[in-house]
Amino acid sequence: MIKIGNSIIDGNSLANKYPQNSIEAKIINILLSSSEIYRYDSMNQLAFELKLRKSIVNAAKELNRSRLAFKVFRKSKANDDYWVRTREGGFLLKNGVKPSDAIKDIYINSSKYGTECSTAKVIVYYKALVDILPEELFNRLFPDIYLMNWQHLNRNLGIVDYPQVADYLPGDGRYFKNPDVKPTNPEWQGENTFYLDNGLYYGHGIGITSADKIIEALNKKRIRGSNVSAYLLKSAKRPNFKHLSNMYYNASVQ
Amino acid sequence: MSLNWRYNKLYYSKEVLFAMPLKLFRKIDELDKIRLKKGNNEIKAVFNSLVKNNAEKAIKLINDKNLQFTSLFIIGPGIKDKSILDNLNQRNKCSLEVIKGVPFDTYSRQEYYSVLKWILETGYREDGLNEEYDEVLDTAAIILSKVYKDNQSLPVIEEMIFSRYRQGAFIYDLVWAFFEAANWEDLIRLAKRLRSSDPKDNELARKFLNFIPCLDINKSPEMQYRCSIKWLKENRSLLFYTGETNLQTCDPVRFAVSEKKKGGRK
């Protein structure tokens, strides 16, 4: 169920705003048929979440098509026109570079970059925002990006890892854990993914595929003789859609 | 760690070496002395010269029981002479395989264990030598922790984590290795870091111990330490490892209180 303020939203009128089978329409259907009450302050706030979720899915698919390499942090690489590769293997925005240009460059000159799946996911969040926010706003919200797994996240992203959610939606971050990973391949101790649509996930290093296939890929990286399978955690990562929406609409008003 | 501990274990850094009594200094392998006094290039040159002029002595020195891993790491991969390679002891042959990343199936479980301990305990003082070296140390730490469940290596791993954090170097594989085998005593040791004079130590210890409810950045380091120790003592039997890591989530909560056990205790 969706509530805007105190009003329950009529499903048909909302779904009709988006093409049938679009990501937005599918998300709306999940929200409407859920036993959970999804509350928004305004229709704009809901529309922004739909837009950003779609943008996350698109940015994930686009990264999958790119030539971004899978590299462990020790061997990570970045285009030094835009980023400083730090000693721990992260990418720190170079002085004097526009954050929006630096994020776009990861997609434009993707072969100059290589990192692990957690950083790739953070890149997707930023790219999704670059694609929908006015450039000036993006650069104001994220002036000092540091890409290094889940550390150093900009507070305006507001990413929260919810231990359990009522419904999984396209654009949700999901984690596959591999408890018996081969100790010599710690990078495969889990796979950070985005749930896209139709039971498909994107994880950097594995690609776009089903949960079963991701588990199968991770199981191949287990310690010899192990029969403890990798599995999908119940948790879901979500940015602070409402905060970002407020930033977006406040900037539009100004 | 006290200076005596360092002497007893024969793990020397350059600083310790120069402050060392002559009697102990004599026990250090000659190759290590050359490396610590004159540097990495010199040890290679000296060893290569020995191989040409006195192969027997070269073998004796490199197989010395007191040799530190760092010296083998620097010299070993460059050894091409078959007679030297054939005469390396098991420790060195096995270590060279670890350096090369050969799968762990040539030697016995116990042999690997001894070698990994040797690599970590005699090699950790030179952590930061280069990426390859650090990677070997990380591998040794992870296998000791994950496969051998070796708690005794944890103080060394902890030392490396905090040292790297101060320098902004890569810590996450070591952190994972540490917590995979950590127990209550290791958490107590982490809590002691809360009152470190180095703010980076304090910061990292707080991140690791974020499951302790009373831990408040606004409190003094001493108060943070005291409340953590008290809480850890009170909840000792209730704590369990969650398995959360930095790869998985933004702010991993590595230990939690078991509500089930808590209920049973009431």
Provide φ and ψ at A42, rounded to 5°.
Answer: -155, 165
Which sign, positive or negative, has the C-alpha torsion B26, B27, B30, B31? Answer: negative
Please answer yes or no on whether B170 and A183 come within 8 Å at the CB atom: no
Percent of chain B with pLDDT over 90: 74
CA A25 to chain B, closest CA, distance in angstroms equals 29
Quick one: pLDDT at residue A49?
A: 98
Please answer yes or no on whether A183 and B143 come within 8 Å at the CB atom: yes
Please answer yes or no on whether A149 and B131 come within 8 Å at the CB atom: no
CA A105 to chain B, closest CA, distance in angstroms equals 24
Quick one: pLDDT at residue B41?
A: 87
Quick one: pLDDT at residue B6?
A: 42
Are A118 and A143 a contacting pair, CB within 8 Å?
Answer: no
Taking each continuous run of H as one helix and of E as one strand, the counts in chain B are 17, 2
Please answer yes or no on whether B142 and A151 come within 8 Å at the CB atom: no
Indicate the range of A176-190, B96-110, B231-245 predicted with least confidence: B96-110
Please answer yes or no on whether A150 and B134 come within 8 Å at the CB atom: no
Q: What are the Cα distances from residue B77, in Å, to B61, B97, B238?
A: 16, 10, 48
Please answer yes or no on whether A89 and B170 come within 8 Å at the CB atom: yes
pLDDT tens-digit profile of B73-86? 999 988 988 999 99
> Once rounded to an integer, what is the mean pLDDT over residues B239-245?
95
Quick one: pLDDT at residue A14?
A: 81
**CB contact B143 to A (< 8 Å):** yes
Residues of chain A with pLDDT under 70: 252-254
**Which residue in chain A is spatially nearest to B176 when comparing CA positions?**
A186
Helix (H, G, I), strand (E, B) or coil at A31: helix
Residue B10 has pLDDT above 60, yes or no: no
Quick one: pLDDT at residue B27?
A: 66
Quick one: pLDDT at residue A208?
A: 98
- pTM comes to 0.90
Residue B265 has pLDDT above 70, yes or no: no
> Once rounded to an integer, what is the mean pLDDT over residues B196-217?
94
Residue B179 has pLDDT above 90, yes or no: yes
Q: Give which of A72, A77, A118 to mutate to test B binding, by max B Cβ within 10 Å.
A: A118
Quick one: pLDDT at residue B2?
A: 38
CA B15 to chain A, closest CA, distance in angstroms equals 25
> Once rounded to an integer, what is the mean pLDDT over residues B57-66?
94
> Which pairs with CB-CB distance under 8 Å and at least 24 residues apart come from B26-31?
B27/B66, B28/B66, B29/B61, B29/B64, B29/B66, B29/B67, B29/B68, B29/B71, B30/B61, B30/B64, B31/B61, B31/B62, B31/B64, B31/B67, B31/B71, B31/B75
Residue with more model confidence, B16 or A166: A166
Residue B226 has pLDDT above 90, yes or no: yes
- Using a CB-CB cut-off of 8 Å, the residues of chain B touching A236 are none
The helix (H) or strand (E) run that includes residue A83 is: strand A83-85
Residue B9 has pLDDT above 50, yes or no: no
pLDDT tens-digit profile of A41-77? 999 999 999 999 999 999 999 999 999 999 999 999 9
Quick one: pLDDT at residue B123?
A: 95
Quick one: pLDDT at residue B26?
A: 59
pLDDT band, residue B39 (cuts 50/70/90): confident
A189 CB-contact burial (10 Å; exposed 0-12 / middle 13-18 / buried 19+): buried
> Once rounded to an integer, what is the mean pLDDT over residues B14-43?
74
- Three-point CA angle B56, B60, B114, nearest 5°: 145
**Which residue in chain B is spatially nearest to A89 when comparing CA positions?**
B170
Pairing of strands A69-70, A91-93: unpaired
B119 CB-contact burial (10 Å; exposed 0-12 / middle 13-18 / buried 19+): buried
Quick one: pLDDT at residue B103?
A: 80
Quick one: pLDDT at residue B17?
A: 56
- Using a CB-CB cut-off of 8 Å, the residues of chain B touching A160 are 250
Are A132 and A55 a contacting pair, CB within 8 Å?
Answer: yes
Percent of chain B with pLDDT over 70: 89
> Once rounded to an integer, what is the mean pLDDT over residues B239-255?
94
Question: Residues 6-45, chain B: which have Cβ within 8 Å of A?
Answer: none
| Nearest-by-Cβ selection for A175 from B139, B170, B248 | B248
The helix (H) or strand (E) run that includes residue A69 is: strand A69-70
Please answer yes or no on whether B245 and A161 come within 8 Å at the CB atom: no
Are B174 and B157 a contacting pair, CB within 8 Å?
Answer: yes
Pairing of strands A146-147, A91-93: antiparallel
